Amino acid sequence: MEKIAIYPGSFDPVTNGHLDIIERGLKIFDRIIITILENPAKELLFTVGERIELLKQALEDYSNIEIDSYDGLLVDYAWKRNAHAILRGMRAVSDFEYEFQMALMNRRLNREIQTVFLMTGLRWIFTSSSIIKEAAKFGGNIESMVPPVVQKKLEQKFNQSLGDNDPG
């Protein structure tokens, strides 16, 4: 039986930290369905369509990846997609409480769906989409933190060059 995991998130935008979790997750699972959860309460920079396109471009070399969006209960989506796991990345202890609560709720809703946590690689532990957007907005060099397609799209959004302000 194929081992399928759902990797949910807002991916606004996708970062190299996300890609690290995906690459390591593919060593555990046969296929990963990256799912953009639609959350109207969250203020986002990119539309769902833009985020799907950025993910497709950043992951074009992977044949065992699928990209989708969903706006209901994650465990229901996982069940419909024949996935038996939810893949989550954690950067620091601050992520733990929220992720633990979500995993417990998901387990209560469907005991067949397991949550698998991967610790973010040390290189990406400080990286978050929010911090990257803020740095990009003010012209910070984010080149090593996001795929090139994301850097280019952020430059377009903020109408500036983001790789030229390296103080070092």
* 25, 7 Cβ separation under 8 angstroms: yes
Burial of residue 155 (number of CB atoms within 10 Å: 0-12, 13-18, 19+): middle
Q: Is 107 a catalytic residue?
A: no
Strands 114-119 and 85-90: parallel
Q: Is 91 a catalytic residue?
A: yes
Q: Which of 42, 94, 108, 111 is catalytic?
A: 42
Three-state DSSP class for 98? helix
Q: Is 10 a catalytic residue?
A: no
Contacts 24+ apart (CB under 8 A), 136-144: 136/162, 139/165, 140/165, 141/165, 141/166, 144/16
Q: Which of 91, 107, 152, 157 is catalytic?
A: 91
Q: Which of 10, 51, 84, 129 is catalytic?
A: 129
* 13, 146 Cβ separation under 8 angstroms: yes
| Residues classed as catalytic | 18, 42, 91, 129
